[in-house]
Structure 1
Amino acid sequence: MEQKAFDLIAEKVGETLAQQGFDVKPKISEEEDGPSALFTGESVAYGVLYRKEKKCFELRTCPMTEEGPSDSWKVLATWGFDPEADSAAYAGSIAGDFAETLGGTSRLAAVQQAKKKRRKEEDSTTDPLFLFNRMAGIFPELRDDMTRERAEYGEIRNVAFAREKIVPKVEELAGKRADSEPFKRLCGVLNDLYENGDMDVRSIITIVILNGVSDEKALANIEAQFSDDLRRVYAKARDFRGRKVKPEKKKKMPKISADEMVKTLNDTR
């Protein structure tokens, strides 16, 4: 699956870059960290690298020199990918996101088209893991958090992971760097995936992430960037901030004495 996923993603990136004048066929090589595909242009180069140890794909770029790529790589996007657990459809989502990053066909349009073909919402690839990988593109340290989460629990606990690892980062970014490019990307991800994600993704965005932000200033900064759909829904979801749902109390049965029970039985005869 690792090689098939790599080939699929490299092919999609190549198709996108070919429209911009890059070489159609990439230079494939095996680096120390894993397989890579290199696409060169006149002034810039792009690459796809799969880091085997970290189990993640990277889309990266660097300037071109007279000798070739400068090797001063800058990572544009990162996605976790476990060959033993993730599917070909998931690799396709990574390919679509990389293509969108490079200015190709919008991943949003691709998701919407795919949804029309699906009959069941659970078939959607826009699930919590998709959300977490998009977040990792903004907060790279989440990649290691996801690896540790899988190692400790065997899977990613969606609600717990979002609450413990994502909420603090979202709150800090929104509160201290609301005029930054990463913050704009964060708001774009929230709006995009609320509209196109499955029910789990929508719940995590509204009830877990947004309601988990305790800094009112940070939350106000995020709300100012809401799409119409997210603004409408969150107006109701916000009522649940800080609220704990208590289990229904058991009704107490009335106590009846032995004399009363005998009297009741006699009256019914």
Structure 2
Amino acid sequence: MENNQAFELIKERISPILAKVEMPCVSDEETDDQKGRKAVFASSEQAIVLQWDAQQKKYRLSRAAVENGKVSDSPKQLALWLFDPDTNDLTDAKSIANDFEDTVNDLFTSKRAISQREEAKSRNRNTLEGMIHRFMETYPQFQDQYDAHQEKYGEILPDTFIQEIIFPYLLDLLTQKKNAFIKRVFEIINESYTMGNVDLKSAITYTLFGMLMDYPEQEELALKYMDENLKRAWMAMRRLLEKDRAKGKKASIV
């Protein structure tokens, strides 16, 4: 059996499952002179690698982390099958495809896998990094600024990101009174404050809205979009900031 037929069969079986969890095939290429082949399915956080090792005559399925758009060089092997194109046939290829399909199903579509993803998503939404991730999902037009920020500082600095990217955008919307757009931003801000940990709550009230104090008209409009929970927290923080400004010093957050 021609090896390309076996590879395509296996790839065809796992592709729909990975597509459902937003892990499309991002590359498919030969890896050596003996026509080894590797297909990579990736999201922003992880990758599944389907590889045909022509020298060892093995099919390998692996899982790897993705950092800054690069797939890790230290994947974790999930499944391994021997396959000789000269002696193995379509039935053998289907056996590999069945096993790889089951492996991917268990990883991503089982009740346990879905529950784990939901729990991780919920935890991430409680953090500053989670809010920024949600902001970027909602506003992909800021990708260039996100990349520039990361290049400048070597990482994403949440408070600085809020000051340099999120706040100017929010201020512009409030200045132009783009109500539909303002509402959309506050859907993120209100939920982030309600669900957020201490650092996230502080970043919203102290960093984001603390900067808004210098723009009374825009702050007044922003109050109309805050839910009651956030509004109470902001008014309490505002009183502290006003006292500290009156004393000529910066407020400290404990």
TM-score normalized by the length of structure 2: 0.49
